[in-house]
Amino acid sequence: MNVITTFTTKKREKQIKSERKLLKELSIQMLKKSVQQHFDAIRVQGGVFLQQGLEEGCYDVAIEAFLLGAQFSRFAPLGESSEKIQQRCEKEMKHLIDTLYNFWLYWGKLGDEVIFNDSLYFLCESFIEYWWSEGFTRGERRRKLRLH
C-alpha cells in the first residue's frame, strides 16, 4: 500500500524546513536589542509584566517580517531591486505593521493622543521594515551560498 502525498503537503514541508534553517540565524538577544532600539522611548503603564508581554508580541511580528523578507529574497537573483521586491509584498507588510500597531494600542494603554499614535505607527513601520530587510539579506545570502 502506497502513501499518497499531495503537492501542497510537500510544498509546506519544504517551506517549514527552510524557515527552520533561517530561524537558526536569529537570537533572542538580537530581537530584544531591536525592540529596545525601536520602542525604548515609549513608557508603558502597567509595569514589568506588561512590558514583557509587549516585547514578546514584538518578537512574534519581527519573526514574521523576517521570514517574509527571506521568502521574497528569491526574486533578487532575477535582477529586481530590493525596493521593487518590497513593493511586491506591500500588502503583507501593511498587515504586519497594522497588527503590531494595534497590538501596542490595545495592550500598551498609551492613551488617545493622536500625535503620539502617529509616531507609534511610524515606529512600527520602521521596525517591520528593519526586520524585513534583515530577512531579505539573510535569505539572499543563503541563496548565494546555496544553503537554501
Q: What pLDDT shows up at residue 50?
A: 56
Q: Buried b / exposed e across 86-125, counting CB within 10 Å, b at 16+?
A: beebeebbeebbebbbebbbeebebeeeeeeeeebbebbb
Q: What is the pLDDT of residues 126-146, one digit of tens each?
A: 999 999 999 999 999 988 888
Q: What pLDDT shows up at residue 90?
A: 94
Average pLDDT over residues 77-93: 88
Residues 68/18, Cβ–Cβ less than 8 Å: no
Q: What is the pLDDT of residues 27-54, one digit of tens each?
A: 999 999 999 898 887 766 555 545 778 8
As a whole number of angstroms, the distance between CA 97 and CA 124 comes to 6
Q: Is the pLDDT of residue 97 over 60?
A: yes
Burial (CB count <10 Å: 0-12, 13-18, 19+), residue 40: exposed
Extents of the domains making up the chain: 5-145
pTM of the model: 0.86
DSSP line for 15-70: HHHHHHHHHTT--HHHHHHHHHHHHTTPPPTTHHHHHHHHHHHHHHHHHHHHHHHH
Average pLDDT over residues 22-31: 92
Q: Is the pLDDT of residue 93 over 80?
A: yes
pLDDT top residue among 3 and 89:
89
